Structures are given as structure tokens and as C-alpha cells.
Amino acid sequence: MLDGSIAAQILWGGAYEGFKERPVIAKQLAVNVCQYMFQDRYEDIKVFESYRPWKDWFYDVAWDVTWMVLDSREQKMWFICATDTD
């Protein structure tokens, strides 16, 4: 699920730092993101995930991630991208 994937990226950290809090805090942050976007309406959501640097904005190293979230009920698209470099 999306919240688990986001939590894993938070825990992974970036080039030089990992997440310094307990893993449950990363999970709660990710749950909060999902709650903000689509509440508990998982049945209305399709998630696409990519680790490819599909645009020059990405640094093309280990920390590139994109999530595209489609909400069929609200007819919204959420686009979340993250990158880092060493």
C-alpha cells in the first residue's frame, strides 16, 4: 500500500542521513499523507510507483522515487516526487 511505500522511503533517508525517529513515526507520517489525500477511500485509489529518473530534475541515484495517485471519486491526481544526491 502507498503508506507503507512512503514510510519505507522516509526510513531509508537520503544520501547521508537516515530517519532518526522510531519507525512507527515514519509510518504515521505516511498514513497522515494518505489521509490528507484520500481519507480511507482505498477502493477509489490507483497508485503507480516508479524509481526511474524520468526527468532531469532527478539526480539519477538511489533515492529517486515517484508516486502517481489517481482518485476516481474526486477526479484528482496526486503526484509526489523525491530525490537526493551524494
What's the pLDDT at 62?
A: 87
What's the pLDDT at 31?
A: 98
Each domain of the chain, given as residue ranges in start order, spans 2-82
**Is this model's pTM higher than 0.85 or not?**
yes
Q: How far apart are CA 67 and CA 80, in angstroms?
A: 5
What's the pLDDT at 46?
A: 98
Question: pLDDT tens digits for 26-77?
Answer: 999 999 999 999 999 999 999 999 999 999 999 998 889 999 999 999 999 9
Contacts of 12 (CB under 8 A, 6+ apart): 18, 19, 63
- Has residue 15 got a pLDDT over 90? no
Q: Which residue has the higher pLDDT, 86 or 19?
A: 19
